[in-house]
Amino acid sequence: MLSTIYSKALIFALLIIVVFSLACGSDSSSETKESTAAPATAKVEEKSSTSNSDAEAEKGVVRVINQDMGGSGSYTFVPNEFIFEKGQNVTFELVAETEYHTFTVDDLKIDEDINAGETKRFKFDFNKTGTFELYCIVHKANGMVGEIIVK
């Protein structure tokens, strides 16, 4: 009788292990992906351009994708570096993937927010030269930072 109890307990334990293994099984879609790509840079020139690339949605509009874990898998701005000339007026088009983000540059007094799945535009006149830190208030600790250079 004691061996029957042990047999049932062993079968029950194995059943629990199998169920737990199936429930916690590895799914390749949940693996962390590391990017080895170089940082993206946006440079908007005031001169006319003959480029018809997909990246240039509209002439003079700087499109910024606010990537996140639920979308592209990492917290980052794409592009994350911008180069402008002093006096240049720029229209930014912010796109949020699946989370709330900000586009914040303290020294330039830029603080735009954008809700998940939203696309938003704003204009800014660059009247101060220097290198300025860009960050998302919510995801700065996760590495969502960039740089704006005004020459």
Task: Check which CATH number belongs to the domain holding 96 and give it.
Answer: 2.60.40.420
Question: Which residue reads 């700087």 in tokens?
Answer: 62
More reliable by pLDDT, 47 or 45: 45
Per the structure, the count of domains in the chain is: 1
Identify the residue with better confidence: 18 or 64: 64
Checking if the pLDDT of 52 tops 90, the result is no
Locate 116 and state its tokens: 């998940």
Note whether residue 16 is domain-resident: no
Per-residue model confidence (pLDDT) at position 90: 96
DSSP assignment of 104-118 equals: EEGGGTEEEEE-TT-
In a domain, 121, yes or no: yes
Q: Is 1 a member of any domain?
A: no
Q: Which domain holds residue 138?
A: 39-44+58-150
The angle at the Cα of 79, spanning 87 to 55, to the nearest 5 degrees, equals 90
pLDDT at 79 (0 to 100): 96
Q: What is the per-residue pLDDT for 46?
A: 40
Does residue 113 belong to any structural domain of this protein? Answer: yes
Tell me, yes or no, whether 12 lies in a domain.
no
pLDDT digits over 57-111, tens only? Answer: 567 799 999 999 889 899 999 999 999 999 999 999 999 999 999 999 999 999 9
Domain contains 7: no
pLDDT the model gives residue 72? 87
**Which amino acid belongs to residue 103?**
F
Return d(Cα 19, Cα 6) in angstroms, integer. Answer: 20
Q: Which pLDDT score is estimated for 12?
A: 58
Range list of β-strands (E), the chain: 41-43, 61-67, 76-78, 81-84, 89-96, 101-105, 110-114, 119-125, 130-135, 145-150
